[in-house]
Structure 1
Amino acid sequence: MSSGVQVVFDHFPDLSATQRKQFEALSGLYTEWNEKINVISRKDIDQLYTRHILHSLAIARFISFPPGSRLLDIGTGGGFPGIPLAILFPESSFFLADSIGKKIKVVQEVAQAIGLTNVHAEHIRAEQIKEKFDFIVSRAVARTKQLYNWTHRMIHSTDHPTLANGYLLLKGGELDEEMKELGRSHSVVAISDYFEDPFFETKKIVYIPV
């Protein structure tokens, strides 16, 4: 078992054998790819499971995506939060987009290596995406209003059975000014409510219904 993966298993004990193997494989794959293409900061690669994978999975504590959901991870970088969420929700489909081609190469290779069939990763800018999605997820890509202006046209207006379609954004730090600038209904959830690690003390999920 890869060092660090137990933190994921502790918080998500009901994973299938396939999901456990997929999460276990991520450490070796990202370490190998990071030596070629720097998609994760050098100081964070040893904390992959807490600072990238568990952080991504915080979204799954806020909402459980029903089968058939379509999600866009905009500015996915090395595949976060999209790849961990795609492992957790194999019956949902994930479009992972980034404007930096070498990062998408890593995402494609990692997804293929662990057998993720519900992930499509593409080197593309937000304004070029023509498809529609139920939810957009993202991690610290841009200020919220800017991200909303780029992408709100891509979200179906149909409501999720328990939560309206919209955005699930991973953010950090003080957000009052940014949310005031957004000027839309939203809710902010502290990730420290879900996970005890000190890394999450300032981390939040911002949910914006559309």
Structure 2
Amino acid sequence: MDQLQKLDTVVSHYFPELSPAQITLFCRLGDIYTHWNSKLNLISRKDIAHLYLHHILHSLAIAQVTIFVAHTKILDVGTGGGFPGIPLAILFPEVHFHLVDATAKKIEAVVAIVAALGLKNVSVDWARAEALTGQYDFIVGRGVANLLLLYSWVKDKIAEARKNKLHNGILYLKGAPFEPLPLVVDLYPLQRYFTQPFFKEKYLVHAYSV
């Protein structure tokens, strides 16, 4: 199955209003990640055949819960190979994404992937989240750490002024169970949005203060 077919059967099925430019970028992800994964284990090598379902569509699950308004600022903590930040940046070209990770080799690859795609709304840094000083509307992540630890890293980086429908806070993709947090927590089961068995017992966690 070529990349366009994979895109049609997975991503385009759930996001039918993609522009031609977005379709082109999503199609290119398959070859780009296959290339980089042969050099560096950005994702499990056994999983590269499931890139569109397990990584790209999983990242885009956030967009099933909320549509970010223009000029929203998002921090992707522990981005690894660029997930969920890169797929979301393609989907929301007027939103700024800051991708950070503490592993230098992964960040070098993500910088190259962002440059190859020509994404102007993405910045990438080799850094630990707790060392950052910026303010963001949302912190996103996927399997980086337990939620309580993640919250300790980013609790002072969430902007107070709200511009989106959802409260500013953490949007975290994970499976159960969930660690207790000193925040309001809303859970979104991904089976509500996607039919594939992969999404069974996977959730988007929205954690925020009011």
**TM-score category, normalised to shorter length:** over 0.9
Corresponding residue of 2:86: 83
The AA in structure 1 aligned to 2:58 is: H
2:198 maps to 199
Task: Spell out structure 1 runs of 4+ moving beyond 2 A.
Answer: none
Query: Percent identity at matched positions?
Result: 46
Which residue type is aligned with residue 174 of structure 1?
P
Residue 157 of structure 1 corresponds to: 160
Deviations 1:70-113 (A, max 9, x none): 00000000000000000000000000000001111111111111
Structure 1 residue 174, shift from structure 2 partner: 2.5
Cα distance in 1 between the residues matched to 2:136 and 2:177: 28
Q: CA deviation at 1:200?
A: 0.3
Partner of 2:106 in structure 1?
Answer: 103
- Runs of 5+ in structure 1 lacking a partner? none
Is 1:5 matched with 2:4?
A: no
- Alpha-carbon offset, residue 160 of structure 1: 2.9
User: Given the two structures, how large is their TM-score scaled by the length of structure 2?
Assistant: 0.95
| RMSD, aligned CA | 1.0
Partner of 2:51 in structure 1? Answer: 48
Deviation at 1:183, TM superposition (A): 3.4
- Return the alpha-carbon distance in structure 2 between the equivalents of residues 31 and 161 of structure 1: 35
* SS in structure 2 at match of 1:113: helix
The residue aligned with 1:21 is 24
CA contact (8 A) 1:86 1:118 kept: yes
TM-score, length-scaled by structure 1 = 0.95
Size of the alignment, in residue pairs?
206
Q: CA separation in 1, counterparts of 2:129 and 2:36?
A: 25
